[in-house]
Chains A and B, each alone.
Chain A
Amino acid sequence: MFDPTYIDSYSNIDAPYQRLDARGKIIVTLAFVVIMAVSVNDRPLRVIPFSLHVIFLAAISRLSPKVLLRRMLPALPFFLFASLALGFSKGSHAAVAAFLKAFFSVLSVIILVSTTRFSNLLKGLEGLNLPTILVSMIFFVYRYLFIIADEYGHIKIARESRNFSGSKRWQWKAIGHSVGTLFLHSYERGDRVYSAMVARGYEGNIRTLGIQAITRADIIFVAISVIYLLSAGLISWKLL
């Protein structure tokens, strides 16, 4: 889970989907997930037109199925068990439908983040009116996530090296102290990062180098996708 390289690793492939504006891609992904969630209900067949859309996106982004599946792997066991539970209470159709919905939703999100540089994704979110403070925080979590997780890893190693064991109470206390220490480290780091940013002219909001321009291709892509998804929802509602 903690290999940071995989996050941006496919965003540099030169493929049609990678070249589109982040905002358009976010809107289409949201439309996909929401329309599918609302229209499929308990009918597995209704997922078909939606799956076609995802497969189309995967194709124009030149992501290999292997890569996509590998990234999805950690989420699959939960989907299986939850749909199994659903199967007992609502029947097999509902279970299969839920599983497919979960599967393709995740797939669409993976395609979105794999084909969009994280910084562009953030610019996109900001462009879509997510509060600036939240976007900035996402930016910093993304940047410091691995560093701080690693730091906890170091503390844990130091703990293990001194034969960490004993009663549960004692262990909880020691773990609590490690968490407190980690907080202090993070706090100090945050303070210094702030200094470093101020030193380079930061005055309160993160400025970026010109947001991507929305081209005709973006508008066509969003329009066609949304129309397709809506009609897929409506038609499958009638027919399947």
Chain B
Amino acid sequence: MHIPDGFLEPEVWAPLTAVSASAIAYASKKVSKNLDERKVPLMGVIAAFVFAAQMVNFPIGGGTSGHLMGGVLIATIMGPFAALLMISTVLIIQALLFQDGGITALGANIFNMGIVGAGLGYLTFKGLNSVTGNLNFAVFTASWLSVVTAAGIAAAELSISGVIPLTVSLPAMTGVHAIIGIGEGAITIAALGLISGVSVDVFYGVQTVKVQRRPIPWILLAVSMSVALFIAPFASEFPDGLERVAESLGFLERGTPKVTSPLPDYQIPGLSGGISTSMAGVVGVLVTFGLAYMIIKMLRRRHR
């Protein structure tokens, strides 16, 4: 999911860079103020952990394996702002030192994995946990959703830039990641279970949310996200099995450059239609995200 330089149009990466830069600036201020700033080394070493965790491979069946994203994992432990900083740090290092993800695409990658993956994932976790009171369910759903959403948004960005039409890339990306997401969810649950067994104070901010009494927006958010990103594309024109999609577009998963068939052999739909669909998709996700952000702000004010 690390988008390199050269494939995104400026219309896509420029605004996303602005969004990500502001988010980082805000999170930096927030973290410097709230967390003990003298504990920067601790944050740094844990960011190195995030880097290592993203290299963790797990089997997803059919002889293939997925990579952990770790967004929800780290956000539930360290909080969404610290998590955003950690993931951004990791992405910067990956771009600078490992040629994994581009410089102009850095804003987009931070947006996909840090803001959407960790931030939105964290909101989902917090919401579902307060609604259902079922920690594992909340963790699992949030992890799954964060992976699928991040993949979906990456697909949308690529399709707006004309690389792959959304009608192809969205089902492919979300399809593969719907499976990877199950692994992500299961692993996140197990990891958090072990960590919380040792130290008590793991779930950042869960206590405050538990008393929260307005569950409906969260359910709506979760359901609409799942429908928008997962079910809808499948209901459309490509009922191919997930296996097939995973195979044909496997190259979108980093670390698996051995794929043989780069393109599916079906007709590629007209460009204009593709762009309008993908535009709609991205706008939808952005609006949802904005909504979620406002909601969490409101909640926060109530609990101060």
Contacts and interface: CB of A to CB of B under 8 A. Distances in A.
Quick check: do A and B touch in the complex, using CB within 8 A? yes
Interface of A: 1, 7, 29-30, 33-34, 37-38, 71-72, 74-75, 77-79, 81-86, 88-90, 94, 97-103, 105-106, 109-110, 112-113, 121, 131-134, 136-145, 147-149, 151-152, 168-169, 171-184, 186-187, 189-191, 193-194, 197-198, 203-205
Most chain A CB atoms below 10 A, which of B6, B53, B77: B6
A176 B187 contact: yes
A107 to B, nearest CB: 9
Contact of A193 (B24, B25, B45, B97): B45
B6 A204 contact: no
A89 B73 CA distance: 37
Given A179-B53, A180-B191, A184-B198, A140 B259 contact: no
Contacts of A180: 190-195
Given A74-B99, A148-B45, A187-B46, A194 B4 contact: no
Nearest to B164: A85
B257 A77 contact: yes
Majority-rule SS of A interface residues: helix
A85 B189 contact: no
A152 B52 contact: yes
Complex A-B, nearest 6 residue pairs according to Cβ-Cβ distance, in ascending order: A140-B44, A176-B190, A180-B194, A101-B6, A77-B257, A102-B6
Contacts, number: 265
29 contacts: A37-B104, A77-B257, A81-B259, A82-B7, A82-B163, A89-B164, A89-B268, A89-B274, A90-B163, A97-B6, A101-B5, A109-B99, A113-B96, A131-B24, A133-B28, A133-B43, A137-B44, A140-B45, A140-B47, A141-B51, A147-B48, A148-B49, A151-B52, A152-B56, A173-B187, A179-B70, A184-B198, A190-B43, A204-B40
A131 B28 contact: yes
B99 A148 contact: no
B296 interface: no
B95 to A, nearest CB: 7
- Chain B interface size band reads 35 or more
B102 interface: yes
B105 to A, nearest CB: 9
A138 B56 contact: no
B165 interface: yes
B191 A183 contact: yes
Contact of A138 (B89, B165, B194): B89
A114 B38 CA distance: 31
B194 A168 contact: no
A75 B104 CA distance: 16
A84 B32 CA distance: 44
A121 B41 CA distance: 19
Interface string B48-81: 1101110110111100000010100100010000
A71 B97 CA distance: 10
B93 interface: yes
B102 A89 contact: no
A212 B59 CA distance: 48
B103 A109 contact: yes
